[in-house]
Amino acid sequence: MSKDIYVIAEQRDGKLAKVGKELIGEATKLAADLGEKVVGVVLGSGITEEAKNLYKYGADEVVVVDDPALAIYMTEPYAKALTAVIKECDPNVVLFGATSIGRDLAPRVAGRVHTGLTADCTGLSIIEDEEVGKLLAMTRPAFGGNIMATILCKHHRPQMATVRPGVMAALKKDDSKTGEVKAIKVEFTDADKNVEILEEVKATKKIVDITEAKVLVSGGRGIGGPEGFDMLRECAAELGGEISSSRACVDAGWIESSRQVGQTGKTVRPDLYIACGISGAIQHVAGMESSELVIAINKNDTAAIFGVSDLGIVGDCKVIIPKLTEALKKYNAEKESN
């Protein structure tokens, strides 16, 4: 009988990625509803010791496939390894991060174990079904983000989903938690290595990860043009934060796509999110509604963004933001002098 929630914890260069820790945190809540365990799964080479850190983030057990064939991510070896884990362990639920690796790996594994996959989820919960009992309810944007669809996988196991990074919150690290790993051996052949990696070239350009920012000052079409981000950048600097954007500004070429928040961009959950000239379309809201405190500035008093804001300011952000920046500069100067 299928049981337990398995979280595929990605590693990059031998270090666990943040999204795996987030999924472990969410899985602990789901597992409590199901009365099951959370099992972290790590694939790679020389990663057994690093994998033990998953215990510190809430995992009840850890499974590892540690093999030189998995030193660099390649679809076929990783798909073969994970398929072997699923067939041996028979999990009830398998969760992936909706990253470049997760989006490549998850559908291939789902096809091999003959189950369904819900992609790019923004919400997970456990519901009671009269026919089959407790099920994982997987929620994702659909029809261009105009509705939120909740999908069930009643008759196949495992129930599988990819989850957007930044949507879930990791548990606070507990260094007192330790444990051993269960090693699963997979035999790889030359046929599994159907791609040859000639060289790894790491990007030298530093791209800001807005999902890590504690404060985001975000601009929409209402900031007027690319120069509007200079105004937002100055304000963000005083707050110790970063700037981000709605899709409209990215499509207009005002800012790079790595700063985009929303359904087709990144999901963020900062302590403070200031939405400047953003209408509040559901596609954008899906990427920032989990922020701790949302302040919206918009000239339109009926803008949808006010519906998800803790504080709404009706006015022109091109007037309000410079005044806010000056007030912050004065406050920061006084704090430094004391």
Q: Residues 3-57: pLDDT tens digits?
A: 899 999 999 888 999 999 999 999 999 999 999 999 999 999 999 999 999 999 9
197 located within any domain: no
How many helical (H) and strand (E) elements, i.e. helices and strands, does the chain have?
8, 17
Torsional sign, CA 253, 254, 257, 260 = negative
How much is the pLDDT for 254?
94
* Confidence at residue 206, expressed as pLDDT on a 0 to 100 scale: 59
Answer yes or no: do 34 and 136 share one domain.
yes
User: Residue 98 maps to which CATH number?
Assistant: 3.40.50.620
Would you say residue 102 lies in a domain? yes
Residue spans of the chain under pLDDT 50: none
In a domain, 198, yes or no: no
Segment 266-296, tens digit of pLDDT: 889 899 999 999 999 888 988 898 899 999 9
Q: Are 40 and 62 in contact (CB under 8 A)?
A: yes
Sign of CA dihedral 95, 98, 99, 104: positive
Q: Are 233 and 329 members of one domain?
A: yes
- Domain containing 225: what range? 210-337
| Residue 281 falls inside a structural domain | yes
If asked whether residues 244 and 331 sit together in one domain, one would say yes
Domain end: 192, 225, 256, which one? 192
In a domain, 282, yes or no: yes
Residue 336: strand, helix, or coil: helix
Do 49 and 181 share a domain, yes or no? yes
Q: What pLDDT is stored for residue 34 in this prediction?
A: 92
Can you give the pLDDT at residue 148?
80
CA angle, 96 then 8 then 128, to 5°: 60
Check which CATH number belongs to the domain holding 269 and give it: 3.40.50.1220
Are residue 266 and residue 130 in the same domain, yes or no?
no
Query: CA-to-CA distance for 120 and 51, rounded, in angstroms?
Result: 25
CB atoms within 10 A of CB 291: 23
- Is 204 contained in some domain? no
Say if residues 315 and 299 touch (Cβ distance below 8 Å): yes
- Name the domain boundary from 157, 192, 227: 192
**Both 123 and 25 in a single domain?**
yes
Both 225 and 128 in one domain: the answer is no
pLDDT score recorded for residue 141: 79
Q: Is residue 200 part of a domain?
A: no
* Number of domains within the chain: 2
Say whether both 149 and 89 belong to one domain. Answer: yes
| Residues 164 and 217 occupy one common structural domain | no
Kindly calculate the radius of gyration of the chain based on its CA atoms and give it in whole angstroms: 22
Asked which of 192, 221, 238 is the last residue of a domain, the reply is 192
| Same domain for 244 and 143 | no
Q: Are residues 63 and 18 in the same domain?
A: yes
- The DSSP letter of residue 189 is -
Q: Look at residue 110 in the predicted model and tell me its pLDDT.
A: 95
In a domain, 199, yes or no: no
Same domain, residue pair 52 and 142: yes
